[in-house]
Amino acid sequence: MRDLALCTYWAMALVATFGSVLFVWWLMRNRFRATSVYLYVTVLFVGEAVRSWINIQGRLHALENDGSFLIFSLGWFWPGRNILSLLAITAIVVHMSYRVLVGKNPEVPEQWSDKVRSWFGDKTKSK
């Protein structure tokens, strides 16, 4: 019998990895001109891909039933697998809460390339 958890980890790893590559490729193609939400979703995809690949490794250890999962789970990989996803979700919630609190129009996208340029003193706008 197939292990359903392992199958879903594999499916998620493949989809999230493809999504990560797709989002990063699109970001590079557009010279990193993207809205903040696009960047957050990109980090979320990368985080989900990383988490899924670590989940696969953990599940394989668990299925071995030889105590190797306990050792694996005590390392930094297992508890650290959620960090990127947590950062992306936190950034989305904090950013959107800020926009709600200051009453910023959600119809106006923020371009991070313009913000980064202004941080480094370049006052020209990207096209």
Write down the pLDDT at residue 97: 85
Q: Is residue 95 part of a domain?
A: yes
Which residue from 52, 57, 56 is spatially nearest to 72, judged by alpha carbons? 57
Q: Is residue 19 part of a domain?
A: yes
Residue 119: count other Cβ atoms within 10 Å of its Cβ: 8
Quick one: pLDDT band at residue 123, thresholds 50, 70, 90?
low
Write down the pLDDT at residue 31: 86
Cα gap 38→105, rounded to integer Å: 17
| Mean pLDDT in residue range 85-95 | 91
Q: Is residue 41 part of a domain?
A: yes
Q: Is residue 64 part of a domain?
A: yes
C-alpha atoms less than 13 angstroms from C-alpha of 84 in its C-beta half-sphere: 20
Query: Does 92 or 122 have the greater pLDDT score?
Result: 92
Number of structural domains (the chain) is 1
Q: Is residue 127 part of a domain?
A: no
pLDDT tens string 19-57 = 999 999 999 998 888 888 889 999 999 999 999 999 999
Domain residue limits at 72: 4-119
Q: Is residue 124 part of a domain?
A: no
Q: Is residue 94 part of a domain?
A: yes
pLDDT tens string 8-21 = 999 999 999 999 99
